[in-house]
């Protein structure tokens, strides 16, 4: 099975807040990206379908893509959901269970910005229209930096709150800030999560760790060519070139070192 891009979005808005540009994709750019996926034959699948295929269940479409949104920003849902629905695509929204209907308090503390988050009614509507809601903790902490009892509580309680509020199973998690370690991973499994998305960059290959899935970030400055490169390779063109150039330079340097020696 080929590597599957698990796309990671945060905000979709035409008014990126200062300091949050990287995490904000313009609505027009988002729509163009989704139209390109559809034209290129990509089929959006759920994380459940991905896990099932990897466990020997039904194979994924030839070109599968998983679309994820972290944080549950109201404007991201407002812009993205209609585009996805019109194209028959699905997505996972990872929600901060303790801040439903509120604002992104963690961003206020870290960046001095505050964005509205969707409420329970909107989350239930998303589920009713075929989208999937996953957990993104209770309060958006760096889980790997919390004491053991607190991280377990964040994980267990976020799942319970979301299952209660949505009236359906919540099996998937995204670690806030991608912060996890071996213990957090075990705590996620103990809390009953079947998968957890990390922010390790790359396509999700057949042996990817279900509790630390690789993702492909889509960032605010990306043109369509960057987006296509990310979907195909996991990285933007500039990053790929940098890595190639660095590799070539290292090879050259060791040749020179050998000559000099």
* Least distance (Å) between residue 136 CB and Zn ion: 6
Between 70 and 75, name the residue whose CB sits nearer to Zn ion.
70
Between 61 and 141, name the residue whose CB sits nearer to Zn ion.
141
Between 32 and 113, name the residue whose CB sits nearer to Zn ion.
113
* Least distance (Å) between residue 70 CB and Zn ion: 4
Whose CA is closest to 40, among 73, 63, 69?
Answer: 63
Whose CA is closest to 22, among 212, 204, 226?
Answer: 226
Quick one: which segment of 172-180, 189-197, 216-224, 250-258 binds Zn ion (CB under 5 A)? 172-180
Between 8 and 210, name the residue whose CB sits nearer to Zn ion.
8
Is 222 an interacting residue with respect to Zn ion (CB under 5 A)?
Answer: no
Cα(94)–Cα(104) distance, integer angstroms: 13
* Least distance (Å) between residue 140 CB and Zn ion: 6
Q: Which one among 9, 71, 73, 197 touches Zn ion, defined by CB under 5 A? A: 71
Quick one: which segment of 73-81, 170-178, 213-221, 248-256 binds Zn ion (CB under 5 A)? 170-178
Task: Quickly count: other Cβ atoms within 10 Å of residue 101's Cβ.
Answer: 14
- Rg of the Cα atoms in the chain: 19
* Least distance (Å) between residue 178 CB and Zn ion: 9
Is 72 an interacting residue with respect to Zn ion (CB under 5 A)?
Answer: no
Cα 2 versus chain centre, distance? 19
* Cβ atoms 118, 160 nearer than 8 A: no
Q: Is 26 left (phi over 0), alpha (psi -120 to 50) or beta?
A: beta
Helix/strand/coil (H/E/C) assignment for every residue in 170-195: CCEEECHHHCCCHHHHHHHHHCCCCE
Binding mask 123-162 for Zn ion (x = CB under 5 A): ----------------------------------------
* Cβ atoms 163, 192 nearer than 8 A: no
Q: Which one among 134, 176, 178, 217 touches Zn ion, defined by CB under 5 A? A: 176
Binding mask 201-220 for Zn ion (x = CB under 5 A): --------------------
Residue count, binding to Zn ion (CB under 5 A)? 3
- Please list, in sequence order, all residues whose beta carbon lies within 8 angstroms of the beta carbon of residue 205, skipping any fewer than 6 positions away: 1, 3, 214
* Least distance (Å) between residue 23 CB and Zn ion: 9
Nearest-CB residue to Zn ion? 70
Cα(33)–Cα(179) distance, integer angstroms: 28
Residue 120: HSE in the Cβ half-sphere, 13 Å Cα cutoff: 10
Cα→Cα distances 15→23, 84, 108, Å: 12, 21, 17
* Least distance (Å) between residue 191 CB and Zn ion: 17
Is 70 an interacting residue with respect to Zn ion (CB under 5 A)?
Answer: yes
Between 70 and 222, name the residue whose CB sits nearer to Zn ion.
70
Q: Contact positions toward Zn ion, by CB under 5 A?
A: 70-71, 176
């Amino acid at each position: 099975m080929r590597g599957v891009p698990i796309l990671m979005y945060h905000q979709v808005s035409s008014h990126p807040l200062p300091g949050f540009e990287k995490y904000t994709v313009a609505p027009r750019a988002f729509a163009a990206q989704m139209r390109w996926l559809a034209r290129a034959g990509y089929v959006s699948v759920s994380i459940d379908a991905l896990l099932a295929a990897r466990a020997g269940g039904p194979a994924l479409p030839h070109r599968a893509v998983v679309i994820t949104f972290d944080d549950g920003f109201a404007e991201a849902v407002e812009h993205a959901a209609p585009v996805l629905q019109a194209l028959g695509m699905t997505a996972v929204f990872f929600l901060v269970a303790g801040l439903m209907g509120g604002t992104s308090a963690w961003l206020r503390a870290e960046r001095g910005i505050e964005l509205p988050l969707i409420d329970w009614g909107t989350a239930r509507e998303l589920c009713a229209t075929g989208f999937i809601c996953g957990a993104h903790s209770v309060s958006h902490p760096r889980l790997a930096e919390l004491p053991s009892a607190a991280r377990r509580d964040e994980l267990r309680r976020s799942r319970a709150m979301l299952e209660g509020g949505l009236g359906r199973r919540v099996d998937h998690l995204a670690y806030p800030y991608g912060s996890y370690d071996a213990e957090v991973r075990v705590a996620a499994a103990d809390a009953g999560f079947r998968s957890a998305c990390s922010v390790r960059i790359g396509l999700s290959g057949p042996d990817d760790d279900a509790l630390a899935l690789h993702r492909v970030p889509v960032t605010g400055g990306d043109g369509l060519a960057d987006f296509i490169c990310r979907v195909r390779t996991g990285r933007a063109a500039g990053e790929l070139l940098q890595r190639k150039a660095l590799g070539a330079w290292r090879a050259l340097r060791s040749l020179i070192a050998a000559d000099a020696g």
